[in-house]
Amino acid sequence: MTGTLGQRFLLILLLIILAVYPAFADVPGSLPAASSYASEGLSYEDETISVSITQGRAYETDYWVARIKLSEPGQLRTASARGFDANRTVRGLTLAARVNAVLAINGDYFSYIPDGYLIRNGVQYRDLPSGKRDVLLIDDRGDFYQLPMAAREDIDAFSGNPIMNSFNFGPALVIDGVRVEEYVENNNAAFKPRQRMAIAQVKRGSLEYVAVACAGPRGRNTGLTLDEFSRLVYEQGVENAYNLDGGNSTMMMFNGAYVNTGDLGNIRDISDIIYFVSTHQEEAK
């Protein structure tokens, strides 16, 4: 009788745990090899991925540029705090460690926007394009496509390869090699100096990406408007670039630490990250 009661108790406990902590759609990468980190500077390289991070200053503001080269498109992934159908948030470094990210950046705070076209890791969670925001599509080849003010007809008209990830914060900063020069206020502080984050692809058909973060109006930094930020991102030599969530969500994470640590201030928990992984252990098997 005691054994039966014990089994029932364990079953009830398991059900409670599953209800409180639902299964994630995480796809962790191989654990980064300690020997692949450079002894000096911010870089990592193995046979499947290379990441190098540099710091600069423009418009009286510090900025950080991460350059990433992958061996296959599936090494660009997304992860959420508690599932992409939930509204939970968590510390960015916790998310990055959970998926063995070589480099991770904050996503688009998908739970903040109630509509939009949301696909993550090939699974569709929302199909409510509003025509109010630019949408970034990343297909199964790792290529970037941007749909300005994407409405239903724009989504339906897209005839490319299957989409693996989509983002709804925006706006687009560089489209097909052309810098966007006009912006509208869309809950993105377009004309105010702010911390910002962008993700970009160097060229379609390549697996080379760039992430750019800038500091906000604090200390010796003034922060950047969207126009200034787009100029900075464009100068990195990218074909398509997209603005992600910014402000206190802005974070670039590498080797267990925040790269832009000097400007984090009141850093907030976030709902999602974009991350890049190594697959060196998987290839060795």
110-149 pLDDT, tens digit each: 877 788 999 999 999 999 999 999 999 999 999 999 999 9
Please give the pLDDT value at position 20: 43
User: Strand, helix or coil at 31?
Assistant: coil
User: Strand, helix or coil at 225?
Assistant: coil
Given a cut of 80, whether residue 14 has pLDDT beyond it is no
Please give the pLDDT value at position 263: 54
pLDDT band at 22 (very low <50, low <70, confident <90, very high): very low
pLDDT band at 21 (very low <50, low <70, confident <90, very high): very low
Q: How far apart are CA 274 and CA 261, in angstroms?
A: 18
Given a cut of 60, whether residue 280 has pLDDT beyond it is yes
The pLDDT of 13-35, averaged and rounded, is 65
Q: How far apart are CA 207 and CA 187, in angstroms?
A: 31
Q: What is the mean pLDDT of the chain?
A: 89
pLDDT band at 12 (very low <50, low <70, confident <90, very high): low
pLDDT band at 24 (very low <50, low <70, confident <90, very high): low
Total domain count for the chain? 1
Q: For the purposes of burial, counting CB atoms within 10 Å of the CB of 201, is it exposed (0-12), middle (13-18) or buried (19 or more)?
A: buried
The pLDDT of 74-103, averaged and rounded, is 91
Contact 257, 191 (CB under 8 A): no
**Those residues with Cβ within 8 angstroms of residue 69's Cβ, 6 or more apart along the chain or in another chain:** 49, 50, 207, 208, 209
Kindly report whether the global pTM for this prediction surpasses the value 0.85.
yes
Q: How is residue 281 written in tokens?
A: 């252990």
Closest CA to 236 of 264, 203, 262: 203
Given a cut of 70, whether residue 7 has pLDDT beyond it is no
Which residue has 């003010």 as its token pair? 149
Residue 10's domain comprises 2-284
Residue type, 38: A
The region of weakest confidence among 47-51, 100-104, 163-167, 182-186 is 182-186
Given a cut of 90, whether residue 71 has pLDDT beyond it is yes
- Could you tell me what percent of the chain has a pLDDT over 90? 71
